[in-house]
């Protein structure tokens, strides 16, 4: 087990380094560097001579370390990361990029965690129901619902939710994490702000989960030991709850591990629609303004979390199912 | 048993995720709290002086671009920064929504007859929010930061000031200027090397906020020795302790909102709102939805939102953008655009007014040049009305090579209006045989995006308040100096020399002379005549296609009144002290 874990961690580390190389290089392959964007902003203000523009261009490129070849830039970045834990300073705010990303983690984790719970709480029972009513009207209805929530773009779903629940019914706030004018922490206010973004993000994952559970339950229900259990007089409910469901849950562990990355991708849109102050909104702004250090910090942290999530999922799967040989 | 363990593990993992997040979100550690939520020290709220906050309650505005810093000279310079700084800081004077100069901290800005001495008189009894006097020393201090080439990218604005070139060599940036002096606490005098009748427009650069010298020097005693990165990183710019604007920064909830409270020493008297909140908006569609849900009172929306929001009881209005959407013709040696007839053909061949009438619903404008101010006579100039026959005959006269496609670069393909304009031109020019290839300048997969590899490039142009500003990017002296390298797509080499603000590589001596003469005279009639002559050269030579001026669309809660709409949404709150909100 120990050797397996070590091997798994080494592979994860190599994957992680490869991932940072790709992110680092792709960003810098853009023909317009942050310096160009800054110069466009400055140019728009006017008043700068040709000499000034040239000087600013060179100074900025040098200051930001963008005048060096990309491999050298990467080595410097990696060395700084390993030796000092720094992921650079934001081009936009001058603040350490890691601080900017880390301070946005709690809202994102809250949103992702809530969305995951919503996915599981809605997806698992619906999956079981669909399996038990295989090829009947309820199965088709549930499957159609699952496909619909996957197919509707989150941006549209988010705006529709705002329109229905915030504009028309006026029962839930449309944006933010809490009401700015509140005097102290108010759990109800906070929960009210969480409901819409968590449901919009969570619903997108309900479809895959219910399909997963449905298929898994159907597969398990066909196993001989369950046929025997039924033949011995066990009720359908008892067969499903005690035997089929726990076994069908196993593949879900892997799915939940992968889901962190998928949810994070969804959070980009959901956070932006609901002005949720998480990492997704920060990353989206950073991408638009080519704030390389923040994009890198975001990629390193999220990439690291996703990779670790997968290691934990593998570990959990191995613990849960002794048939999986680790050595 | 193992199955139960797995289910339990999954549940515990998710529960930990949520509980951990909740705990962090609600009761952060002191360090995390400082980073995520910043509030000023208690001293900032001290010393009220009889000014009472009004009865308008809370005003919540959508922030169309993210806030980064209260540092006026940081290179980010987002719209969110402008809106925030205009609440907290103030300027000597500013252009109002009609483009006329509005005195703010200054009582007057006057020029000597030779346009070489400019005198600024401050309003009497100006105070910072903590009650300390705002004097000419603060003005000089602000200029020491703004003119420092190590700290400010706009330091080049002041090279015409006497002694500035030497001062900017440093190394001591704390020493006094020779060309900017303060004879008394209320007067600042600028001495110029060469006469500049438009110097007031430079003084009104939107970043020239007056900063509190004592408070900043107390927070950063070594500020004069720092470079721009060092200045930028000062915590003061995230949490300024005092200000002189109408509303003072009070709190930042990272990614959520910034709140402001009334300045007890605001020079304009009582203020309407007990607090002002700026909330970031990710898109105009989201802003429109949040406006309707009551989350915000005022936001930038789109033309298409007007009908729906009006019928829902909201007020809407538009303002002409201060800058045009401009297209550069590459006027370098090897280009097909060196012949003015080709450039004229594109002016005739693209239906600019038609685009304004249809896409911008008649609310924009299709000027032919950068001479926006009304005092430059435009009654007898060629307006380049859409005429495909004329366009075709001009191209034929110029022996235009129709075989090669024209590479037309757009630097903001996300701006739907620009994309629509380019596509409209593409289709119109196609009908007279000109093939246009539209390229997204930010497309990483397209090497044509690299500097110099374009025939035309489109972007948001310059905001022009005084025609003198046109000289910054059109004179021979503002040409770039670094030639590009040879390239397979362009065998004659990069067409574009970079490093200069004259990105079209257009150089016309007669034009330069006229602008130089106009800069030297303070006689407004003479200036109008000279710029009128320069305008004729522009219209004839067409160094750039001034395509159209877009509109900024605002929508607001019908309880709000007194809002002056600015074309630049970053300037919207400049007159916030005149806004009211019925309860």
Residue B31 has pLDDT above 80, yes or no: no
Distance CA B489, CA B115 (A): 49
List beta partners, residue B553: B301, B318
| Distance of residue A285 Cα from the nearest chain B Cα, in angstroms | 8
**Dihedral sign, Cα of residue B79, residue B84, residue B89, residue B90:** positive
Residue A53 and residue B500: Cβ atoms within 8 Å? yes
Query: Which residues have a Cβ under 8 Å from the Cβ of B375 and sit 6 or more positions away?
Result: B524, B528
Residue B445 per-residue DSSP state = T
Count CB atoms within 10 A of the CB of residue B377.
13
- Within B114-167, residue ranges assigned H as helices are 136-146, 164-167
What is the b/e burial string over B305-323, where b = at least 16 CB atoms within 10 angstroms of the residue's CB?
bbeebeeeebbbebbbbbb
| A318 in a structural domain | no
pLDDT number for residue B254:
83
**Rounded to whole angstroms, how far apart are CA atoms B268 and B272?**
11
Instruction: Answer whether B255 touches A (CB < 8 Å).
Output: yes
Helix, strand or coil, per DSSP, at residue B158? helix
Asked whether residue A110 falls in the same domain as residue A257, the answer is: yes
Same domain, A239 and A124: yes
Residue B43, pLDDT > 70, answer: no
Q: What is the pLDDT of residue B23?
A: 39
Confidence grade of residue B162 (pLDDT, cut at 50, 70, 90): very high
pLDDT of residue B427 exceeding 50: yes
**Whether A137 and A94 share a structural domain:** no
Question: What is the fold of B2-8+322-551?
Answer: Dipeptide-binding Protein; domain 3 (3.10.105)
Strands B106-111 and B560-561: unpaired
Q: What distance in Å separates residue A252's CA from the closest CA in chain B?
A: 9
Residue A50: CA count within 13 A, CB half-sphere: 19
Q: Is B157–A321 a contact, with Cβ atoms under 8 angstroms apart?
A: no
CB B346 within 8 A of CB B339: no
Spatial CB neighbours of B429, under 8 Å, sequence gap ≥ 6: B346, B349, B350, B391, B406, B436
Question: CA-CA distances (angstroms) from residue A254 to A198, A251, A293, B61?
Answer: 22, 6, 31, 44
Residue-wise pLDDT tens digits, B175-190: 999 999 999 999 999 9
pLDDT at position B179 is 95
In sequence order, what are the beta bridge partners of B410? Answer: B440, B458
Please give the Cα distance from A264 to A269 (Å, whole number): 9
Same domain, residue pair A116 and A243: yes
Task: Calculate how close chain B gets to A104, using CA atoms only, in Å.
Answer: 8
Q: Is A220 found in the same domain as A116?
A: yes
Q: Is B146 on the interface with A (CB under 8 A)?
A: no
| Alpha carbons A149 and A271: distance in angstroms, whole number | 18
Residue A146 distance to chain B (closest CA, Å): 22
Q: Are residues A51 and A65 in the same domain?
A: yes
pLDDT of residue B429: 97
Which chain A residue is nearest to residue B235, measuring alpha carbons? A95
- Taking an 8 Å cut-off on Cβ atoms, the answer to whether B24 and A109 are in contact is yes
CA B412 to chain CA centroid, Å, is 16
Question: CA B521, CA B198: separation in Å to the nearest integer?
Answer: 9
Please indicate whether residue B117 or residue A216 has the higher confidence score (pLDDT): B117
Contact flag B501-A167 (C-beta cutoff 8 Å):
no
The pLDDT of residue A146: 87
Q: What is the CATH number of the domain that holds A273?
A: 1.10.3720.10
Instruction: Give whole-number Cα distances, B159 to A47, B149, B465, in Å.
Output: 10, 11, 21
CATH class as words, domain B23-90+234-303+552-581: alpha beta
Rounded CA separation A303/A297 (Å)? 10
Q: Please count the residue pairs, one from chain A and one from chain B, whose beta carbons lie less than 8 angstroms apart.
A: 273
- Given its phi and psi angles, is residue B131 left (phi above 0), alpha (psi -120 to 50 degrees) or beta? left
Strand partners, B328: B457, B544
B1 near A CB under 8 A: no
Q: Which of A255-269, B17-31, B530-544 has the lowest mean pLDDT?
A: B17-31
The Cα–Cα gap between B288 and B302 comes to: 9
Mean of the pLDDT values across residues B109-138?
A: 96
Domain chopping of chain B, boundaries:
2-8+322-551, 23-90+234-303+552-581, 93-214
Contact B9, A318 (CB under 8 A): no
Six token digits for residue A156: 């549209």
Band the pLDDT of B452: cuts 50, 70, 90: low
Q: Is residue A1 part of a domain?
A: no
Chain B contact present for A269, CB below 8 A: no
Closest CA–CA distance from residue A33 to any residue of chain B (Å): 9
- Which of helix, strand or coil describes residue A66? coil
What is the rounded CA–CA span in Å between residue B489 and residue B433?
A: 21
* Among candidate residues A67, A102, A137, the one where a domain is terminated: A102
H-assigned helices in B109-254? 136-146, 164-167, 199-203, 213-219, 228-232
Q: How many Å apart are CA A127 and CA B558, to the nearest integer?
A: 48
Q: Convert the pLDDT of each residue in B276-298 to its tens digit.
A: 999 988 888 888 988 998 889 99
When pLDDT is averaged across residues B224-250 and rounded to a whole number, the result is: 91
Instruction: Give the largest Cα separation in chain B, rounded.
Output: 95
Is the pLDDT at B575 greater than 80? The verdict is yes
**Interchain proximity B501–A247, CB inside 8 Å:** no
- pLDDT tens-digit profile of B46-59? 333 444 556 789 99
The answer, yes or no, to whether residue B548 has pLDDT greater than 80, is yes
* Interface test mutation site (partner A, options B5, B69, B76, B469, max chain A beta carbons within 10 A): B76
Model confidence over A207-254: pLDDT tens digits?
A: 888 888 888 888 888 788 888 887 888 887 888 878 888 777 777 777
Separation CA A316–CA B5 (nearest Å): 9
ω into B171 cis (within 30 of 0): yes
pLDDT tens, per residue, chain A with 327 residues = 677 778 888 888 898 888 888 888 887 776 666 776 666 656 555 555 555 666 677 777 787 777 788 888 888 888 888 888 888 888 777 788 898 999 999 999 999 999 999 999 999 999 989 988 888 999 999 989 988 888 888 888 998 999 899 888 889 988 888 888 777 778 899 999 999 999 999 998 898 888 888 888 888 887 888 888 878 888 878 888 788 887 777 777 777 777 777 787 788 889 988 989 899 888 888 887 778 889 888 888 888 888 887 888 778 777 777 666 554
CA B354 to chain centre: 27
B14 in contact with A at a CB cutoff of 8 Å?
yes
Lowest mean pLDDT among B26-30, B150-154, B475-479: B26-30
Test A30 with B502 for CB contact under 8 angstroms: no
State the burial class of residue A325 (Cβ atoms within 10 Å of its Cβ: 0-12, 13-18, 19+): exposed
Fold of the CATH domain B93-214: Dipeptide-binding Protein; domain 1 (3.90.76)
- Please report whether residue A271 resides in a domain: yes
Q: Which of B264, B303, B297 is nearest to B285 (CA)?
A: B303
Select from B18, B24, B206 the Cβ nearest to the Cβ of A117. B18
Residues 359-418 of B with CB under 8 A from A: 411
- Per this entry, what is the length of chain B? 583
> Does B286 sit within 8 Å of A53, measured CB to CB?
no
Last residue of a domain, one of A43, A75, A102: A102
Share of chain B above pLDDT 70, in %: 83
State whether residue B447 sits within 8 Å of chain A by CB. yes
Q: What is the mean pLDDT of chain B?
A: 84
Alpha carbon separation from B294 to A168, B66, B277, B527 (Å, rounded): 11, 21, 13, 49
Same domain? For A161 and A252 the reply is yes
**Looking at chain B, which residue has its C-alpha nearest residue A155?**
B286
Query: How many structural domains compose chain A?
Result: 2
pLDDT score at B41: 43
Kindly list the strands in the beta sheet with B456-460, ordered across the sheet, starting from the edge strand earlier in the chain.
B436-440, B406-410, B456-460, B325-329, B544-548
**A188 inside domain:** yes
- Dump pLDDT digits (tens) for B311-331: 999 999 999 988 899 898 876
B441 Cβ contact partners less than 8 Å away, ≥ 6 residues apart: A31, A32, B409, B410, B411, B413, B449, B454, B457
- Using only the alpha carbons of chain A, give its radius of gyration: 25
Q: Within this chain, do residues A193 and A81 fall inside the same structural domain, yes or no? A: no
Domain closes at, from A72, A102, A132: A102
Predicted ipTM of the assembly? 0.72
Q: Identify the residue among A22, A26, A30, A31 best suited for mutation to test binding to B, counting B beta carbons within 10 A and taking the highest.
A: A31
pLDDT digits 0-9 by tens, B500-509: 567 777 889 9
Cα–Cα distance between A80 and A24 in angstroms, integer? 14
Among the partner residues B2, B279, B449, nearest to A175 by beta-carbon distance: B279
Q: Which residues of B touch A276 (CB under 8 A)?
A: 255
Measure A96 CA to nearest chain B CA, in Å: 9
If asked whether residues A224 and A177 sit together in one domain, one would say yes
Range of the domain at A182: 105-277
Helix (H) or strand (E) holding B188: strand B187-191
B124 CB-contact burial (10 Å; exposed 0-12 / middle 13-18 / buried 19+): exposed
Relative to beta strand B406-410, strand B436-440 is parallel
Q: Which SS3 state, helix, strand or coil, does residue B574 take?
A: helix
Asked if A109 and A196 sit in the same domain, the reply is yes
Quick one: three-class SS letters along B74-122? CCCCCHHHHHHHHHHCEECEEECCCCCEEECCEEEEEECCCCCEEEEEE
Q: Is residue A155 part of a domain?
A: yes
Q: Do B32 and A253 touch (CB under 8 A)?
A: no
> Hey, are the CB atoms on A92 and B58 less than 8 Å from each other?
no
- Please list, in sequence order, all residues whose beta carbon lies within 8 angstroms of the beta carbon of residue B167, skipping any fewer than 6 positions away: B147, B173, B175, B177, B178
Q: What is the dihedral of CA A153, A155, A160, A165, to 10 degrees?
A: 120
Verify whether the Cβ–Cβ distance B35 to A113 is below 8 Å: no
User: Does residue B285 sit at the A interface (CB-CB below 8 Å)?
Assistant: yes
Sign of CA dihedral B385, B322, B512, B378: positive
CA-only gyration radius of chain B, Å? 27
d(Cα B506, Cα B515) in Å, to the nearest integer? 15
Query: In this structure, are A119 and A261 located in the same domain?
Result: yes
Tell me whether residue A321 is in a domain.
Answer: no
In chain A, residues 32-61 whose CB comes closer than 8 Å to chain B:
32, 36, 38, 40-54, 56-57, 60
Q: Which of B21, B299, B481 to mutate to test the interface with A (most CBs of A within 10 A)?
A: B21
Global pTM exceeds 0.90: no
Interface test with A, best of B501, B503, B550, B571 (most A CBs within 10 A): B501
Number of C-beta neighbours around residue B501 at 10 A: 26
Interface check for A106 against chain B (CB to CB < 8 A): the answer is yes
Residue corresponding to tokens 């509707």: A152
Instruction: Work out the pLDDT band at B486, boundaries 50, 70, 90.
Output: very low
Judged by a CB distance cut-off of 8 A, whether residue A190 touches chain B is yes
Count the neighbouring beta carbons within 10 Å of the beta carbon of residue B370. 23
Sign of CA dihedral A174, A176, A177, A182: negative
- Range in A77-86, B7-16, B225-234 the model is least confident about: B7-16
Do A130 and A76 have their domain in common? no
CA distance A115 to A263: 8
Distance from CA of B253 to the nearest CA of A (A): 9
What pLDDT does B111 receive? 94
């Amino acid at each position: 087990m120990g050797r397996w874990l070590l091997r798994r961690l080494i592979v994860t580390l190599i994957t992680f380094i490869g991932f940072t190389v790709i992110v680092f290089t792709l960003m810098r392959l853009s023909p317009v560097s942050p310096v160009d964007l800054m110069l466009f902003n400055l140019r728009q203000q006017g008043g700068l001579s040709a000499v000034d523009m040239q000087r600013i261009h060179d100074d900025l490129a040098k200051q930001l370390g963008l005048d060096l070849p990309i491999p050298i830039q990467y080595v410097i970045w990696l060395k700084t990361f390993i030796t000092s834990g720094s992921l650079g300073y934001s081009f936009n705010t001058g603040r350490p990029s890691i601080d900017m990303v880390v301070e946005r983690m709690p809202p994102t984790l809250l949103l992702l965690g809530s969305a995951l719970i919503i996915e599981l709480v809605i997806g698992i029972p619906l999956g079981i129901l669909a399996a038990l009513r295989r090829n009947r009207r309820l199965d088709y209805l549930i499957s159609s619902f699952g496909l619909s929530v996957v197919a509707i773009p989150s941006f549209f779903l988010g705006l529709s939710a705002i329109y229905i629940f915030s504009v028309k019914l006026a029962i839930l706030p449309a944006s933010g994490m809490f009401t700015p004018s509140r005097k102290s922490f108010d759990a109800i206010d906070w929960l009210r702000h969480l409901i819409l973004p968590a449901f919009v993000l969570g619903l997108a994952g309900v479809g895959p989960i219910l399909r997963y559970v449905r298929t898994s339950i159907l597969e398990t229900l066909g196993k001989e030991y369950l046929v025997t259990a039924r033949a011995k007089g066990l009720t359908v409910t008892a067969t499903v709850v005690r035997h089929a469901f726990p076994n069908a849950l196993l593949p879900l562990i892997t799915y939940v591990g992968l889901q962190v990355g998928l949810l994070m991708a969804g959070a980009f849109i959901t956070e932006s629609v609901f002005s949720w102050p998480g990492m997704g909104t920060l990353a989206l702004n950073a991408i638009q303004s080519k704030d390389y250090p923040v994009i890198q910090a975001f990629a390193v942290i999220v990439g690291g979390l996703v990779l670790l999530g997968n290691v934990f999922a593998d570990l959990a799967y191995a613990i849960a199912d002794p048939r999986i040989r680790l050595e | 048993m193992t199955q139960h363990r797995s289910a339990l593990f999954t549940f515990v993992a998710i529960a930990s995720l949520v509980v951990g997040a909740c705990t962090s979100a609600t009761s952060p550690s002191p360090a995390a709290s400082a980073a995520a939520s910043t509030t000023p020290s208690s001293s900032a709220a001290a010393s009220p002086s009889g000014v009472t906050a009004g009865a308008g309650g809370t005003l919540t505005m959508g922030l169309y671009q993210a806030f980064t810093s209260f540092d006026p000279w940081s290179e980010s310079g987002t719209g969110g920064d402008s809106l925030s700084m205009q609440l907290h800081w103030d300027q000597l004077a500013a252009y109002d929504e009609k483009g006329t100069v509005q005195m703010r901290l200054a009582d007057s800005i006057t020029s000597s007859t030779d346009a070489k001495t400019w005198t600024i008189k401050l309003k009497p009894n100006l105070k910072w929010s903590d009650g300390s006097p705002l004097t000419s020393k603060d003005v000089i201090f602000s200029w020491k930061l703004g003119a420092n080439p190590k700290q400010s990218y706009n330091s080049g604005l002041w090279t015409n000031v006497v002694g500035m070139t030497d001062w900017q060599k440093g190394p001591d940036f704390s020493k006094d200027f020779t060309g900017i002096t303060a004879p008394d606490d209320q007067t600042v005098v600028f001495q110029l090397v060469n006469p500049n009748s438009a110097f007031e427009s430079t003084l009104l650069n939107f970043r020239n906020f007056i900063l509190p010298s004592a408070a900043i020097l107390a927070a950063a005693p070594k500020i004069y020795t720092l470079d721009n990165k060092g200045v930028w990183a000062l915590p003061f710019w995230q949490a300024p302790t005092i200000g002189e604007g109408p509303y003072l920064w009070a709190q930042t909830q990272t990614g959520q909102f910034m709140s402001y409270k009334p300045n007890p020493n605001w020079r304009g008297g009582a203020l309407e709102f007990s607090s002002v909140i700026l909330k970031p908006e990710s898109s105009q569609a989201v802003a429109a939805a949040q406006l309707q849900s009551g989350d915000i009172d005022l936001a930038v929306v789109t033309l298409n939102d007007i009908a729906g929001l009006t019928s829902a009881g909201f007020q809407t209005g538009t303002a002409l953008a201060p800058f045009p959407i401009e297209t550069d013709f590459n006027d370098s040696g090897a280009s097909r655009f060196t012949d003015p007839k080709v450039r004229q053909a594109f002016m005739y061949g693209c239906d600019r007014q038609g685009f304004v009438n249809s896409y911008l619903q008649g609310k924009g404008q299709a000027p032919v040049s950068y001479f926006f101010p009304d005092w430059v006579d435009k009654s007898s100039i060629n307006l380049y009305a859409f005429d495909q026959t004329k366009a075709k005959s001009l191209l034929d006269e110029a022996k235009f090579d129709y075989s090669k496609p024209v590479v037309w670069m757009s630097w903001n393909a996300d701006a739907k209006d620009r994309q629509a304009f380019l596509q409209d031109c593409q289709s119109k020019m196609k009908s007279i045989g000109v093939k246009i290839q539209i390229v997204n300048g930010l497309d990483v997969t397209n090497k044509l995006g690299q500097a110099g590899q374009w025939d035309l490039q489109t972007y948001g142009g310059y905001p022009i308040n005084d025609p003198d500003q046109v000289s910054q990017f059109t004179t021979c002296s503002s040409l770039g100096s670094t030639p590009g390298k040879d390239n397979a797509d362009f065998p004659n080499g990069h067409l574009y020399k970079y490093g200069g603000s004259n990105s079209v590589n257009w150089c016309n001596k007669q034009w330069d002379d006229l602008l130089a003469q106009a800069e030297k005279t303070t006689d407004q009639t003479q200036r109008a005549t000279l710029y009128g002559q320069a305008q004729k050269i522009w219209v004839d030579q067409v160094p750039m296609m001034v395509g159209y001026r877009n509109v900024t669309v605002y929508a607001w809660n019908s309880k709000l009144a007194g809002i002056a709409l600015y074309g630049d949404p970053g300037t919207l709150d400049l007159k916030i002290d005149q806004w009211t909100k019925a309860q």
